[in-house]
Amino acid sequence: MLLFALPILIPLVILTMLMFLHSIRTWNQENKDIYKKINELVHAILQIGLIICYPFFVIKFSAGVDGIVMPTAEQDFDNMGLIAIFGAVLGLCLWMLSAKIGVKKHPERLETINNYDVWCKQFLDEYEVVLKRKITHILPPGVVCGVIVLFALFQFIPIIGYKWQAYAMYFIVIIGVDFAFTFIIGDLIRLYNFQYMPPLAGELFKAGLTPEELDSYASTSVMVYGFAPFMLLDFPIFIIIMLITSVADGMASMFGIIAAKRGNIHLFPKGSKKSIEGYIGGALFTIFSVYFGVVFSNFFGFSDPAVWTMELTFIIAVILTIVVTIIDLVTVKIRLLDNWLNPLACGIVLIIILVIAGVPLI
């Protein structure tokens, strides 16, 4: 299995080394404060976490499961990973190489679409805080829930049957890794050599970046890295953390944006970008995330309703709502990314709650 994982892990290691190298070579830039440095280092460290976790994902989800194509699910997953993950990385690299070839043929692009300074200026001129920029926050739960619903329907196909949960979870791993890979590769091209950035990819990146991220990594991939390791634990733990990280955080921002557009926003603390409306939105959707995560897990057979009871769900929802609100308040002064703070803090607290309640973590 490790031999099959090497073509996937080696690109991950190379990308991580490039991330650390970027942090080192830009360490003394005047516009790079201590918080941005920490965020970049944590981003790279969490990517190392994914490198460590990936083989265990294969082992966990394939354990005791027969294969559909090959004799065992582990063999199927090894081949799926090679095709879907390594294939995606190879495809992205070829796409970037075609952009470089295009620059060679049309040198004038160095003054326009393949000039990062020009691209940044256009981005800043066009930038506007709008709801559609938060769509990337909604993508992870939409994909995870959609994949599970789809594979649940596949269980009625005899060749799949009881295997549907294992294959659904590994399919989610593939999509998550490809998603994070895409953003990291794009980030490194932005930061190292914009000549390799295809024009279409450059336009797509504008939809998810913020001005603060122009000289650093986009926070989208670190969100995936933040909740991905929890896939090694019981499914309700993973889906609750993922929903809080994506939906609750995204909806907090949306509540703030809507309040601002209506001219009825109440900033707190004064002078910050945080609002009372945002705190309320984050709290409401943290509660929703916990309840939806437990109900969804119980309904699709990923958890036992006798263990994951509504009483336990209520306790988790209340405590994690407090945690998310505290993180929102803390990040006003300490400008660390809540895209990694939320999953790690909520994950640790949730594990403590479950240990006290005597609920199995795996």
pLDDT of residue 232: 96
Contact predicate 142/118, CB 8 Å: no
If asked whether residues 135 and 161 sit together in one domain, one would say: yes
Q: Which of 205, 232, 259 is the last residue of a domain?
A: 232
> Is the same domain home to 217 and 238?
no
- CB-hemisphere CA count at 13 Å for 292? 17
Please identify, among 232, 255, 276, the residue that sits at the C-terminal boundary of a domain.
Answer: 232
Question: Number of structural domains, the chain?
Answer: 2
Mean pLDDT of 319-346: 92
Quick one: 223 and 264 in the same domain? no
162 and 243, same domain (yes or no): no
Residues 56, 111: Cα–Cα separation, whole Å: 46
Q: Is the same domain home to 41 and 63? A: yes
Cα separation, 34 vs 267, in Å, equals 25
**Residues 90, 163: one domain?**
yes
pLDDT at 272: 76
Answer yes or no: do 163 and 239 share one domain.
no
Whether 143 and 204 map to the same domain: the answer is yes
CA 193-197-200 angle, to 5 degrees, is 165
> What's the pLDDT tens digit per position in 337-346?
988 999 999 9
Q: What percent of the chain has pLDDT over 70?
A: 97
pLDDT at position 131 is 59
Query: For residues 150 and 276, is the Cβ–Cβ distance under 8 A?
Result: no
Are residues 239 and 209 located together in one domain of the fold? no
175-189: average pLDDT: 91
Share of residues in the chain with pLDDT > 90 (%): 64
Q: Are residues 186 and 273 in the same domain?
A: no
pTM, entire model: 0.91
Residues 193 and 303 in one domain: no
Residue 31, classified by CB atoms within 10 Å of its CB into exposed (0-12), middle (13-18) or buried (19+), is exposed
Please list, residue by residue across 206-222, b when 16 or more beta carbons sit within 10 angstroms of its beta carbon and e when fewer do: eebbeeebbbbbbbbbb
- Residue that finishes a domain, picked among 232, 253, 286: 232
CB atoms within 10 A of CB 150: 12
> 326 or 135, which is more confident?
326
Judge whether 361 and 355 are in contact, CB under 8 Å: yes
User: For position 135, what pLDDT does the model report?
Assistant: 67
Per-residue pLDDT at 214 exceeds 80: yes
Selected residue with higher pLDDT from 129 and 203? 203
pLDDT, one tens digit per residue, over 57-100 is 999 999 999 999 999 999 999 999 989 988 888 899 899 999 99
Tell whether 346 and 224 lie within a shared domain. Answer: no
Of 204 and 152, the structure prediction assigns the larger pLDDT to 152
Q: What is the pLDDT of residue 86?
A: 86
**Domain range holding 125?**
1-232
Highest mean predicted confidence (pLDDT) among 71-80, 214-223, 245-254: 71-80
Confidence of residue 204 (pLDDT cuts 50, 70, 90): confident
8 A C-beta contact, residue 337 and residue 39: yes
Report pLDDT digits (tens) over 6-64.
778 888 889 999 999 999 999 998 888 899 999 999 999 999 999 899 999 999 999 99
In 3D space, the residue among 240, 201, 185, 207 whose CA is nearest the CA of residue 134 turns out to be 207
